[in-house]
Amino acid sequence: MAALEILTAPDPRLHLKALPVEKVDRSIRKLMDDLLDTLYHKNGLGLAAIQAGIQKRVIAIDLGEREGITYKPFFMANPEIQWISSMTQKTTEGCLSLPNHFANVIRPFEIKVSYLDENNQKQALSAKGLLADCIQHEIDHLNGTLFIDHLSSLKRNLILSKLRKEKKHKGGL
Site string for Zn ion, 39-78 (x = CB under 5 A): ----------------------------------------
CA distance 70 to 57: 26
Rule CB under 5 A: which of 86-125 touch Zn ion?
95
> Least distance (Å) from Zn ion to the CB of residue 173?
25
User: With respect to Zn ion, which residue has the nearer C-beta, 51 or 78?
Assistant: 51
Among residues 5, 80, 138, 166, which one is catalytic?
A: 138
Cβ at position 141, least distance to Zn ion in Å: 6
Cis peptide before 10 (omega within 30 of 0): yes
**Based on CB atoms, which residue is closest to Zn ion, 95 or 132?**
95
Total binding residues toward Zn ion, as defined by CB under 5 A: 1
The reply to whether 138 belongs to the active site is yes
The residue nearest Zn ion at its CB is 95
- 100 or 121: CB nearest Zn ion: 100
- List the Cα angle 148/154/90 in 5-degree steps: 45
Alpha helix stretches (DSSP H) within the chain: 26-42, 129-142, 153-172
> What's the CA gap between 19 and 42, in Å, rounded?
25
- Residue 70, judged by CB atoms within 10 A of its CB (0-12, 13-18, 19+), counts as exposed
The total of other beta-carbon atoms located within 10 Å of residue 122's CB is 9
> Which residues make up the interface to Zn ion (CB under 5 A)?
95
The residues annotated as belonging to the active site are 138
